[in-house]
Chains A and B, each alone.
Chain A
Amino acid sequence: MGEGDRLVLEVRHLAKHYARGLLLRRGPAVRAVDDVSFAITEGETFGLVGESGCGKTTTARCILRLVVPTAGEVWFRGENVLTASRARLKAIRRNLQVIFQDPSTSLNPRMRAGAIVEEPLSIHGLATPAARRARAEELFGLVGLDPARIDQRPHEFSGGERQRIGIARALALSPSFVVADEPVSALDVSVQAQVLNLLMDLQARLGLTYLLIAHDLRLVRHVCSRVAVMYRGRLVELAPAAALFAAPHHPYTRALLSAAPLPDPDAPRARVVLSPGEFDPTATLREVAPGHWAAL
């Protein structure tokens, strides 16, 4: 982050613990997210990567206040998201939208595509029905869908087109910040690039800031300005994307990078295997190079 960059979102010491067991609550709590802090500046794409169960999606859900964290603060444009009143939260959420992973389960199959896209406007009581419809048509064009298909239902669209509908819906309220949780991983390989291009185009045209949650490191390297690596609920490394991929400091980051499947027959096959006890799991981030933090 440079000096003049404007902070959009700041996460401070975020934690989400779940009690173990249904009734007796015995044993230590599961620390799904544990002391996570990071800040995202205007216009950047911030990547949060890690393997399943590492807490990246729980972190996103806490930021959106879809789950209530155990501890910590989330600040969005100077407002505390977690303590905001219902009215303020609604206002914050106009500006803070989300794109989900699987467009075949996140879109209501009974609704027409246009109604799905304009629903956020009606939820927020904005615009007349005619104006909402016009906005839906405009959004269709924006995401590369034919506005003539506005009255079709989700099943009449391909997977990639359905994700475009999900993106159009997320943009209906003209948010400035979008959380994209694995936005292409459920799509056919041959359409993933189309949707990634669309996300990059929209960022350039609308000045969006993204929090991108992903497990695909190639994708993250391509689109992110900075990347945070999460392991077992904690951040183990945070750095500009170029620095992270060129010189990973944390043993887990190195293991993760070496395991990424590359479509290259000459890619080095030596895997860096993470051995227990190789690092202190309770270490906190410290700056190992300018802007490059590692929990060592």
Chain B
Amino acid sequence: MPSSGRAPHDAEPAGPDCAAPGAGTTGPRLAIDGLTITLDTPGGRAVAVADVSLAVAAGTTLGLVGESGSGKTLTALSIVGLLPPAARVAAGRVLLDGEDLLALDEPRLREVRGGRIGFVFQEPAQALNPVLTIGYQIAETLVVHRRAGWPAARAQAVEWLAAVQVPDPARRAGEYPHQLSGGLRQRALIAMALCCEPSLLVADEPTSALDATVQAELLDLLTALQSRHGLALLLVTHDLGVVARAADRIAVMYAGGIVEHGPARSVLREPRHPYTRGLLASMPGGAPGGRLPAIEGSVPAPGRRGPGCAFAPRCPHREPRCEAAPPAGVTVTAEHAVRCVLYG
């Protein structure tokens, strides 16, 4: 582990986990440094997230992309200290404006969570309290974190509902979650996440449970709010279409590790890692009817990963050395890095 006090983005040379550029002397808003998370499974303790480092600068959006089991959600949950009981952080730091969140006790963490960090999770139906009106739930957040008085908090709740484009916000504030559509519930959750004006928003699959038309609307709204408030946004998703629409930078996770990291355009247009390339190539979109260039095999479960590159068993370019040890990170351009022997 790097010693404390060092800016995380200059910790290791040439990793794919290089920090956001232009962070300058102030450092990134969020920096995750060497994060390793273990998970207790029926087969014993397994490494679910292995040595993940990433950074999000103020006013930018990092898309953290991966499929189920990639460790992206555990990474996001560790930021707000909400890991499930079976998971624990084995190593690493999570720095918000330079302060290590993993070192905070629960009362301090509770202040940060919902205050300086807002979060939005996938299923709005489960994240809202069904017996309280949405106006009350937003106001309560302001009372708890901002020490606001109730009348002012209730008025602000309505303003926030208006800001996330909930039609007729004053009436909607008095409604219960079940009275709202999925899209409106997710807007209410975004309002709740933003009302304390956090400096970081963590959004885990914020639109995946919604229909495409609603999803596009909400992504555009999130992006607009993010740039208006200078938020750092960590957008966690399995959908490359979502990050193409909303992210400035993309980090691709596979089986617990970041395999590629760079500017969104560069990762989507010139993907380097065989996994990223395979994923993009396998998506329908070319000439109709033809065979899709599929990635063979399936994602290995935690605990069933070998010592080397986790993608090696499915990789068309694998060499004997791939399965022996994890590949080092390689910088392919100043801002684009990849963990693959092809570029060593």
Contact = CB atoms under 8 A, between A and B. Distances in A.
A221 B288 CA distance: 6
Nearest to B296: A194
Interface string B110-149: 0000000000000000000000000000000000000000
B227 interface: no
Interface in A150-207: 158-161, 188-194, 196-197, 200
A200 B287 CA distance: 14
B269 interface: yes
A267 interface: yes
A281 interface: no
A190 B295 contact: yes
A216 to B, nearest CB: 8
A274 B282 contact: no
Contacts of A223: 284, 288-289
A131 interface: no
A215 to B, nearest CB: 7
Interface residues of B, number: 42
Interface stretch (A16-24, A107-115, A254-262): A254-262
Contact of B280 (A200, A221, A222, A263): A263
Given A197-B292, A260-B241, A192 B282 contact: yes
B211 A159 contact: no
Contacts of B299: 158, 188, 190-191
Interface residues of A, number: 41
A211 B281 CA distance: 26
A212 B269 CA distance: 31
B268 interface: yes
A256 B211 CA distance: 9
A265 B266 CA distance: 9
Nearest to A52: B211
Given A190-B67, A241-B288, A255-B213, A261 B294 contact: no
Contacts of B216: 258-259, 261, 271
A218 to B, nearest CB: 4
Contact of B285 (A191, A196, A262): A262
Contacts of B211: 51-52, 215
Nearest to A196: B292
Interface in B284-323: 284-286, 288-289, 291-296, 298-299, 314
A186 B241 CA distance: 17
A242 interface: yes
A256 B213 CA distance: 6
A188 B215 contact: no
B213 A274 contact: yes
A243 interface: no
Contacts of A280: none
Interface string B243-277: 11100000000000000000011001100000100
Nearest to B290: A222
A241 B287 CA distance: 12
B294 A194 contact: yes
A222 B279 contact: no
Nearest 10 interchain pairs by C-beta: A261-B241, A222-B284, A193-B294, A51-B211, A193-B282, A263-B240, A158-B298, A193-B292, A259-B216, A194-B294
Interface of B: 67-69, 211-213, 215-217, 220, 238-245, 264-265, 268-269, 275, 278-280, 282-286, 288-289, 291-296, 298-299, 314
Given A194-B296, A259-B213, A261-B212, 12 more contacts: A52-B211, A159-B298, A188-B68, A189-B240, A194-B295, A197-B291, A218-B283, A218-B284, A222-B289, A263-B240, A263-B244, A265-B268
